[in-house]
Structure 1
């Protein structure tokens, strides 16, 4: 273990010595970690994870505004794009809504 930093032991390397691609769970975790750092808002969790040519697109539900009662909280969906190494490429808020609002689907979005 000499010469290794704590981060080195967490890296998964292929036989060629290069970093192995992120798993779906690692991509979601990396996106959540980056969004927390940028927004400082509580994350509710990933709602979707999709691979792309450049990396991953992760949709994350975020608590935007805590209210009393909690059923009146305002939530938002953020779309986060990360590269194959888990680095942030872009993020955007795509929807804002009250907790408990029925999900009527994406409809005309996208």
Structure 2
């Protein structure tokens, strides 16, 4: 039986790293990584999850600014960091219009 997207590795290894960064420092490191890798503006952090050996952080980014701003196109990026805050993986997981609710909010 196939696992739903995002349930595999993160579900199996989710817990606080033994040493290194705290959640707020991991979030700041993820923001720096996004700023280095994409030309768009980060809006904020949507989640920070501890892994056995680092952190999984989701960052929301404005990919296309439109007028009015309620028509902006946003994206959600998943950033995986090691215990020292170094980038291990970077991927865009979702792209959507500002204010558009998805079918899985809150899950």
Q: TM-score range by the shorter chain?
A: 0.7 to 0.9
- 2:10 counterpart residue number: none
- What is the CA-CA distance between 1:45 and the residue it aligns to? 0.5
The TM-score, its normalising length taken from structure 2, stands at: 0.77
SS at match of 1:79: strand
- 2:73 counterpart residue number: 74
Q: Distance in 2 between matches of 1:59 and 1:102?
A: 17
Larger RCO (CA within 8 A; separation ≥ 6):
2
Deviations 1:24-45 (A, max 9, x none): 0000000110111111210010
| Structure 1: 5+ residue stretches without partners | 1-19
- What is the CA-CA distance between 1:64 and the residue it aligns to? 0.4
Is residue 86 of structure 2 the alignment partner of residue 87 of structure 1?
yes
Deviations 1:51-101 (A, max 9, x none): 112200001100000011100000010000010010000110000000010
Determine which structure has more spread, i.e. the larger CA radius of gyration: 1
SS at match of 2:28: helix
Is residue 21 of structure 2 the alignment partner of residue 43 of structure 1?
no
CA RMSD of aligned residues (A): 1.5
- 2:102 counterpart residue number: 103
Counting matched residue pairs gives: 88
- What is the CA-CA distance between 1:106 and the residue it aligns to? 6.1
